[in-house]
Chain A
């Protein structure tokens, strides 16, 4: 992807975000927003992505959006689980650090895995280094779906595999 292409892409995204934020729209919002978005896009592009940026195609974005909605639902049982522990006078904790080696080989998939781990009940991602994911569990039983690899599989079926980096 060329630098100009990236600039246009980023500026468009920023402009749309600007329009959402200044929602009761009038003409002056458009007139001020467009140059501001172009300038901010150029400025940010100069600092971000000096290395290769992950190529994200339309299909992958769609998969990511669906996956995000799926993930948001997971926060509710996760928070309820914390509530159950906090409100118990005995504080039934048995924390454990676990290192998981993920078969996912793509940065975006790995980041998604880390976020999934954090937002599912009882586990919190602590470190992500190559294929080593260090996970802190409130008690060892919560890591079951991580250790048997079903979490990795779910991520690679919903967002991975179809398009590789450009």
Chain B
């Protein structure tokens, strides 16, 4: 039904995906503010779920459920960045200030600094 190389590949993909999920969780818990947390979540969750589901799709094979799992991956790759944008924009437009290292010490204005926003 499933040979050794196949099984190893599936194992690797599922475990790598779970590891990225764990990194996303760590980022959500460790990072200092909303904007940095959303970095961790949109990237690591999309990749983690993508890898786990890809492994499962390979395990099931192209007939039947494998194709449905691939459709699920496509849905995820579209929805994860979109949800990230929607939330980040909502937070930004309601005036949530981003955290900065050495808050207040920064005086070197770079061109295009967000603080000049009208």
Are A124's CB and B35's CB within 8 A? yes
Check A95/B36 contact, CB under 8 A, given A21-B68, A115-B81, A140-B110.
yes
Are B38's CB and A124's CB within 8 A? yes
**Which bracket fits the contact residues of A?**
35 or more
Are A99's CB and B112's CB within 8 A? yes
A136 to B101, CA, bound (A): 14
**Chain B residues, CB < 8 A from A154:** none
**Chain B residues, CB < 8 A from A114:** 85
A117 to B50, CA, bound (A): 19
B-contacting residues, A48-100, CB 8 Å: 68, 72, 75-76, 78-79, 82-83, 85-87, 91, 93-100
Instruction: Tell me how far the C-beta of A138 lies from the nearest C-beta in chain B, rounded to whole angstroms.
Output: 6
Which of A82, A94, A128 is close to B23, meaning CB atoms less than 8 Å apart? A82
Which of B23, B38, B88, B112 is close to A83, meaning CB atoms less than 8 Å apart? B23
**Chain A residues, CB < 8 A from B93:** 127
Are A98's CB and B114's CB within 8 A? yes
Is residue B107 contacting chain A, with contact meaning CB distance below 8 A? no
A126 to B40, CA, bound (A): 14
Instruction: Tell me how far the C-beta of B41 lies from the nearest C-beta in chain A, rounded to whole angstroms.
Output: 9
Is residue B3 contacting chain A, with contact meaning CB distance below 8 A? no
Instruction: Tell me how far the C-beta of A104 lies from the nearest C-beta in chain B, rounded to whole angstroms.
Output: 16
- A residues at B contact (CB < 8 Å): 17, 20-21, 23-24, 68, 72, 75-76, 78-79, 82-83, 85-87, 91, 93-101, 114-115, 118-119, 122, 124-128, 134, 136, 138, 140, 147
A147 to B112, CA, bound (A): 10
**Chain A residues, CB < 8 A from B99:** 95
- Least CB separation from B27: chain A residue: A86
A93 to B100, CA, bound (A): 8
- Least CB separation from A19: chain B residue: B67
Subset of 12 A-B contacts with CB under 8 Å: A20-B68, A23-B64, A72-B77, A75-B43, A79-B48, A83-B44, A93-B31, A95-B98, A99-B114, A124-B39, A125-B88, A128-B85
